[in-house]
Structure 1
Amino acid sequence: MRLIRVLLMVVVVVCVGLVALVLVLPGEKIARIAADQVKAQTGRDLNFEGDVGISWYPVLGISTGAVTLSNADWSTEGPMLTADSLAIGVDVAALVTGDIRIKKVEALRPDVVLEVDADGRANWSLFPETAATDTPTTTEDTPASGGLFLEKLTIKDARLRYVEAGTAVFDMANSDVSLDWAAPDEPADVTLILRPAGQDITVSARLADLPALLGGEVAALSADVTVAGATLAFDGRAGLDSQAAGQLTADVPNPDKVLKALGQAASGQIDPFNLRGQVTLTKEGQLSLRDTTVMALGNTLTLQADVFTDGERPKVNAQIAAGVLDLSSFAQPAEADVPAQSADNSWSKEVIDASALGLVDGSIAIAASGIDLGDLTLGASRMAVSIDRSRAVFALQDISAYGGKVTGEFVANNRNGLSVGGKIRADNVEMKTLLSDAMKISRFAGKATAQASFLGVGNSVYDIMNTLKGSGSVDVGQGTISGIDLDRLLRSGVSGGGTTVFDSLSATLQIEQGVLSNDDLLLDLPSVQAKGEGVVGLGQRTLDYLFTPQIKRDDQQGLAIPVRINGSWDDPKIRPQLDKALGVDLEAEKERLKDEAETRAQQEISERLNLQPEVGQSTEDAIKDSLEDKAKSKLLELLGGD
């Protein structure tokens, strides 16, 4: 619209100077008069190169060679308008009534620069405002004058540039513009064809009141944009000072094709996108969406949003409501999108581009009846995202998950290098379904309460994982472990199926420099308890952990089978610690068993010898005395004594 207004203003000045003289003056004289008139009215220089000819058929008019219109005196972008040629035709019959009816304006390969400086001055403001005079005028005092009307405008192979505060916002070549306007009181049709990447982007608009629109008023407007099979439609009111309000509709079968037509990189999204809603754009730069429905990535959302563009960065405030959100495509990225690991299977050292955190500020509230994350499924959820100067906080306000609740927040801060952190709490979450979905483990059941906090710094996943620090804890009430009966295994040595019923499970953890340590894991069963301690290298992806199930005894010397798990995450080694398989103190257990055996042997001998130890005499001494007496008796018998 700005381009059309600029061209019409130029045409007005040229025609006022040309039409009245075209019948009596040669082309060169007409060109000089026209240039003088433009200079007097606008302060701009209008130059014609080559011959200026007069055409008589089929319409009266002139044709020129190259044309140049100078820019505002504050601009450094060169001429505001240049063209290889210009042709203007007028309606001779309309001249008789005092009207100037321009039948056509044709420009070949024009180069148009639209520019706004840092103070808000626009280079298309061609006509200075005139001060009010002390003497008022009336309609009767004003001599009648004819109207000016442009019937058809055709621009071929144009280059359109828009510069704001010295920075090029867009620069598009090979563009076409046309205007068809049957009568001053009829709607005008404008068609604009842009080719930023070779494909046609067609903008078709119907302007209900073109004179009012060009005069700075807001007027009814309907427009359609077609590109790469997609359509964008607007029906409402608009003004040239960036005001608009009306119904907006968008149907995009393939977003990536549209991005390609716009000369942008593909996003990888080929699912259809649809939008229906009321849009309002103010001249202060505020964009509002109301009663808006968005269908994208298989989801349907209702949206209320305000975007403010008058600050250092756009500021977005939005509320989004949805049914069950399907985010599985984000949770399971394509193989090509997964950062490659190093040859040693460590975390990726590829630099993370977090510059997107600095594109906007604002806050977005999200409410959904459920969220599908691919492996994980959440219930009714309320979340919020707030972004301020490259720092984003993702708040989990109320998440229903696996029979319990999850709350917490995650933070990504890119103000002075990238850091990520957060804290999370889960209450009464059913571990069986959670572990089954997350890790394909279905043997562990029980309600868990857990919490954790963490912070990592670095520009790659490797750096972040190796600098992690934090803490956490987990507590599980009564539950089961199916597929193994630890009590039977430890008491009878029989392995196999069965179910372990435990009373509780608890542990705390600490994280420093990417290493998680734990020394108080406790799994409590009615007759068995299992303890654990060790470290997990979150940064180096290693394990060194000792898990020790043991039969309960008052003296803490019950049978135990310690198992050490160590090595890399990809190939951990699991080895029973056989030298500790009898308990905490192997030598003490051996001595205890030896003493028990000796005691049992002495009891059996006493019973066979029918011994009655005297007071203060040990069983061992009684046995010795009895054996001596028997030996003496047998010896006497052998010698024939009494």
Structure 2
Amino acid sequence: MKKIAFALLGVVIAVVIAIAALLALVDPNQFKPMIAEQVKKATGRDLVIEGDIGWRFFPSLGFDIGQTAFRNPQGFAEPNLVQFDNAELSVSVMPLFSRELHVGKVSLQGGRIFVQTLPSGVSNLDGLGKQAGDSTGEQQPADIAKKTDSQQPESSAPAQPWAMSLDGIEIVDASAVIRDDRNGNKTDISQFDFSLSRFAPGEWTEAKFDINGQADKMVFAAKGQTQLLINKKLDGAELKQLALDLSANDGNTEIKSASLSLDSFKLGEWSTIEFSAKGQLPELAFDSKGKTRLNVSPDVKMVSLDGLSLDAALSGSALPRPSMKVSVKADATYDIPAALATVSAFATSADELAVSGSMSFKSADIPVIRFDLASDRIDVDAFMGKDEQPAPKSGSESTASTKAEGSDPSVAVEEQEPDLSVFKTVDVAGKVAIGELKAANAKLSNVVLSVTVKDGVLKLKGLDADLYKGHLNASATIDARGALPTYRVSKHLNGVQIQPMLVDIAGNDVLAGTGSIDIALSGKGLTESRIRKNVNGTIAVNFADGAVYGVNIPEMIREAKATLKGHKAEYIKEEKKTDFSSMKATMKLGNGIASTSDLDINSPLLRIGGQGETNLVSEKLAFLINTSVVATSKGQGGKEIDEVADLTVPINVTGNWNEPKFALNIAQLLKQNNELEEKAQREVERGLKKLFGDKADDENIKNAADKLLKGLFN
């Protein structure tokens, strides 16, 4: 036993003597110039070690390095690319003989990284992979071969793999700046702390971080922790109990709190993720939370989300209503090699508005988007807070203009074309089906819409819908490839009840009937003023069994009869409307004018024809309506008007769209009366000649004929 004790004591004395000799004879600081020289050769940059290098012998062999800096080239805002105040590293020596690398706790204090890209595009990271004086930084094939040959083991027996362990990592008071002077972006990490507990492949370790900084104007803070496992063969990893927290504020946007938690993560297995966020955007406050299950395939080619759900409470003036509840549910997959995201079982709701379906997104130079969406009911007016029913404006009432008092539509107002540049950057195709739709107070059902956007052109391939006991079919194209967008619209309405549609859409009951409308329009420019000035095409209407409210044409005929006789028309209280059995007209649009020359309204009593135009810019009306009584019957309202059968009554329609005015064209009426009287006079004289011969010139006979004619026309 004494011999063993003396032997151990000798070993200890020898180790102590060796350490003492090492400390006395070897000063690690003498290696500073050599280290700096090797770094200079390898990178072309200067390494400056201002602090001391000191040995560490317990509990393992290692060293401390004081203040050290790795320099930037000239011309950058800070002198150093990397610097730190102190670093510590130690390695256990004895395990090295058993091919085991046991590293003690690695500590870095006061570290800082500065990365800058100049306006020219030059970065202080450029050239780090090249040796000084070597423009390529690549080894020649011959050098690689020599190195490979020299490293070949003498024995062909496989080498025993190394085992590695780390007592931990500690980074304290680190900071970093990433600057890009080309666009003025700057990220400044003012404090970064990181710790990793004992680490060894096949064992769980705990990692924590805490970071504070600013990205441009956004001040942020984040912290998190997780447990990490690296497989013994270093061919995989796992996470569990991941928790992240974030807050940020740039003066306009504030994320008061955001969190994400994950129970576990391993390739090929499902993980549960929960997340939440609360904050304030300009004019919008949000409070949201959600969860999902995540799976990443073992080959890392497919990412899947199952049962994604998100619920958010929103409030603020940016919304169509003071507050809203929004919900999203979906399953999703992302094919990484194909860059294709697919969303299925998609369902979203915003208060009473709900939409479901599927969609996909393929990342490319021109992203490809496809969708197939459906909803049972969408009330756009209620959603936008515009659910008030407009009061019907009867044509018999004086209606106030919807424009501001004193405004003139002909006065040019500066308008800006909508930005349609997105049409050139996406490839979109999809379909939307809606059971019931209410928009602009119009009520539609069984709506089916197909749309595409490609190469700068939007195509509404088909819009089919039922409305007001009729059917709508429409198509449209908007081409955004030119300086001004062009459009082409085609619509066909068939069997539509006109009056309830006008009451709902325009609050106007001036026209009633069952009708069809065919619209074919095109033009350039999408601002209101350009549409009015540049629209071209036709609008053809064909109504049946209806009435025009606001004007009683039979009453005006009686007034015309009284006017011709020089009397005042008898007042009869009747509804101001004119019934018709059919109404047809074709409006031609061009150069800011809508005109017609074939207005034709028929009823058993009346024949109404008309022509004229309206200015689409000023909204002024200029129409002449000619009305004739073509039957012998009691007039509308029960008053006999047989005496004016075959008399054409001209009516001027003036005013504007909101206040049309109807009046007899007295000049035209009197001219017509004079022409009829002159024609009758000639016919009477011809008849007298045949009847009385030369006696027709007798004054008594002429006087009797004149009295007869005056009785007819007065």
Calculate the TM-score normalised by the size of structure 1. 0.68
Q: Is the contact made by 2:586 and 2:599 (CA closer than 8 Å) also made in structure 1?
A: yes
Q: Is the deviation greater in 236-245 or in 138-147?
A: 236-245
Report the alpha carbon displacement of residue 435 of structure 1 after superposing the two structures with TM: 0.0
Report the alpha carbon displacement of residue 309 of structure 1 after superposing the two structures with TM: 1.5
Q: Is 1:283 equivalent to 2:311 in the alignment? A: no
Q: Deviations over 1:552-594 (max 9, x none)?
A: 269984241412315x657766543222346x82312344787
* SS of the residue 1:98 aligns to: strand
Q: Which residue of 1 aligns with 2:664?
A: 576
Q: Which residue of 1 aligns with 2:218?
A: 198
Q: Which residue of 2 aligns with 1:640?
A: none
Structure 1 pair 205–433 and aligned structure 2 pair: CA distance change class (3 A): farther
Q: Is the contact made by 2:451 and 2:462 (CA closer than 8 Å) also made in structure 1?
A: no
Q: Which residue of 2 aligns with 1:142?
A: 160
CA distance in 1 between counterparts of 2:160 and 2:227 reads 30
Alignment of 1:219-258 (within 5 A): 222=273, 224=275, 226=277, 228=279, 229-231=287-289, 235-238=293-296, 244-247=303-306, 248-254=308-314
Q: Is the contact made by 1:107 and 1:154 (CA closer than 8 Å) also made in structure 2?
A: yes
Report the alpha carbon displacement of residue 388 of structure 1 after superposing the two structures with TM: 0.9
Structure 1 pair 624–320 and aligned structure 2 pair: CA distance change class (3 A): closer
* SS of the residue 1:585 aligns to: helix
Q: Deviations over 1:111-156 (max 9, x none)?
A: 4689xxxxxxx99x9999x99x999999952343324576566785
Q: Is 1:402 equivalent to 2:468 in the alignment? A: yes
CA distance in 2 between counterparts of 1:219 and 1:364 reads 33
Structure 1 pair 306–569 and aligned structure 2 pair: CA distance change class (3 A): same
Q: Which residue of 2 aligns with 1:419?
A: 485
Q: Is the contact made by 1:375 and 1:437 (CA closer than 8 Å) also made in structure 2?
A: yes
| Letter of the structure 2 residue corresponding to residue 525 of structure 1 | S
Report the alpha carbon displacement of residue 483 of structure 1 after superposing the two structures with TM: 6.5
Structure 1 residue corresponding to 2:502, chosen from 397, 422, 435: 435
CA distance in 1 between counterparts of 2:109 and 2:425 reads 42
| Letter of the structure 2 residue corresponding to residue 474 of structure 1 | V
Q: Is the contact made by 1:528 and 1:551 (CA closer than 8 Å) also made in structure 2?
A: yes
Q: Is the deviation greater in 539-548 or in 505-514?
A: 539-548
Q: Deviations over 1:176-227 (max 9, x none)?
A: 7666655554376676777544354758685765673699x95766474635
CA distance in 1 between counterparts of 2:292 and 2:54 reads 42
Report the alpha carbon displacement of residue 86 of structure 1 after superposing the two structures with TM: 6.7
| Letter of the structure 2 residue corresponding to residue 406 of structure 1 | L
CA distance in 2 between counterparts of 1:361 and 1:44 reads 49
| Letter of the structure 1 residue corresponding to residue 347 of structure 2 | T
Q: Paired residues, what number?
A: 561
CA distance in 2 between counterparts of 1:31 and 1:405 reads 90
Structure 2 residue corresponding to 1:302, chosen from 339, 342, 356: 356
Q: Is the contact made by 1:47 and 1:69 (CA closer than 8 Å) also made in structure 2?
A: yes
Q: Is 1:510 equivalent to 2:513 in the alignment? A: no
| Letter of the structure 2 residue corresponding to residue 463 of structure 1 | R
Q: Deviations over 1:471-527 (max 9, x none)?
A: 121111212345665445534754532654321111112122232111112222220
Report the alpha carbon displacement of residue 373 of structure 1 after superposing the two structures with TM: 1.3
* SS of the residue 2:473 aligns to: strand
* SS of the residue 1:503 aligns to: strand
Report the alpha carbon displacement of residue 434 of structure 1 after superposing the two structures with TM: 0.9
CA distance in 1 between counterparts of 2:438 and 2:575 reads 34
Q: Is the contact made by 1:489 and 1:495 (CA closer than 8 Å) also made in structure 2?
A: no
Report the alpha carbon displacement of residue 295 of structure 1 after superposing the two structures with TM: 2.8
Q: Which residue of 1 aligns with 2:436?
A: 370
Q: Is the contact made by 1:340 and 1:348 (CA closer than 8 Å) also made in structure 2?
A: no
Report the alpha carbon displacement of residue 308 of structure 1 after superposing the two structures with TM: 1.4
| Letter of the structure 2 residue corresponding to residue 350 of structure 1 | E
Structure 1 pair 54–294 and aligned structure 2 pair: CA distance change class (3 A): farther
Q: Is the contact made by 1:502 and 1:524 (CA closer than 8 Å) also made in structure 2?
A: yes
CA distance in 2 between counterparts of 1:252 and 1:180 reads 35
Q: Deviations over 1:266-287 (max 9, x none)?
A: 8989745443322333334322
CA distance in 2 between counterparts of 1:524 and 1:86 reads 99
Q: Which residue of 1 aligns with 2:249?
A: none
Structure 1 pair 425–341 and aligned structure 2 pair: CA distance change class (3 A): farther
| Letter of the structure 1 residue corresponding to residue 537 of structure 2 | G
Q: Which residue of 1 aligns with 2:518?
A: 451
Unpaired stretches in structure 2, ≥5 consecutive residues: 1-21, 118-124, 131-137, 139-143, 240-265, 280-286, 388-402, 560-568, 633-643, 704-714
Q: Which residue of 1 aligns with 2:566?
A: none
* SS of the residue 1:350 aligns to: coil
* SS of the residue 2:423 aligns to: helix
Report the alpha carbon displacement of residue 371 of structure 1 after superposing the two structures with TM: 2.0
Q: Which residue of 2 aligns with 1:357?
A: 423
Report the alpha carbon displacement of residue 529 of structure 1 after superposing the two structures with TM: 2.6
Q: Is the deviation greater in 49-58 or in 229-238?
A: 49-58
| Letter of the structure 2 residue corresponding to residue 397 of structure 1 | L
Alignment of 1:577-616 (within 5 A): 577-581=665-669, 585-591=672-678
| Letter of the structure 2 residue corresponding to residue 385 of structure 1 | V
CA distance in 2 between counterparts of 1:246 and 1:452 reads 47
Alignment of 1:106-185 (within 5 A): 108=111, 110-111=113-114, 141-147=159-165, 158-159=176-177, 172-174=187-189, 185=203
Q: Is the contact made by 1:557 and 1:585 (CA closer than 8 Å) also made in structure 2?
A: no
Q: Is the contact made by 1:177 and 1:190 (CA closer than 8 Å) also made in structure 2?
A: no
Structure 1 residue corresponding to 2:601, chosen from 500, 510, 523: 523
* SS of the residue 1:490 aligns to: helix
Report the alpha carbon displacement of residue 364 of structure 1 after superposing the two structures with TM: 2.7
Q: Is the contact made by 2:39 and 2:47 (CA closer than 8 Å) also made in structure 1?
A: no
CA distance in 1 between counterparts of 2:36 and 2:92 reads 22
Q: Which residue of 1 aligns with 2:620?
A: 542
Q: Is the contact made by 1:38 and 1:45 (CA closer than 8 Å) also made in structure 2?
A: yes
CA distance in 1 between counterparts of 2:320 and 2:174 reads 35
Q: Which residue of 1 aligns with 2:654?
A: 565
Report the alpha carbon displacement of residue 403 of structure 1 after superposing the two structures with TM: 2.0
Structure 1 pair 245–142 and aligned structure 2 pair: CA distance change class (3 A): same
Structure 1 pair 350–469 and aligned structure 2 pair: CA distance change class (3 A): same
Structure 2 residue corresponding to 1:327, chosen from 380, 400, 410: 380
| Letter of the structure 1 residue corresponding to residue 303 of structure 2 | A
Structure 1 pair 574–483 and aligned structure 2 pair: CA distance change class (3 A): closer
Structure 1 pair 53–592 and aligned structure 2 pair: CA distance change class (3 A): farther
Q: Is 1:386 equivalent to 2:452 in the alignment? A: yes
Report the alpha carbon displacement of residue 107 of structure 1 after superposing the two structures with TM: 6.4
Structure 2 residue corresponding to 1:533, chosen from 596, 611, 623: 611
Q: Which residue of 1 aligns with 2:84?
A: 85
CA distance in 1 between counterparts of 2:183 and 2:157 reads 46
Q: Is the deviation greater in 320-329 or in 586-595?
A: 586-595
Q: Is the contact made by 2:92 and 2:101 (CA closer than 8 Å) also made in structure 1?
A: no
Q: Which residue of 2 aligns with 1:119?
A: none
Q: Which residue of 1 aligns with 2:103?
A: 100
Q: Which residue of 1 aligns with 2:532?
A: 465
Unpaired stretches in structure 1, ≥5 consecutive residues: 1-20, 115-121, 258-265, 334-338, 603-613, 628-642
CA distance in 1 between counterparts of 2:592 and 2:501 reads 25
CA distance in 2 between counterparts of 1:436 and 1:245 reads 51
* SS of the residue 2:329 aligns to: strand
| Letter of the structure 2 residue corresponding to residue 142 of structure 1 | Q
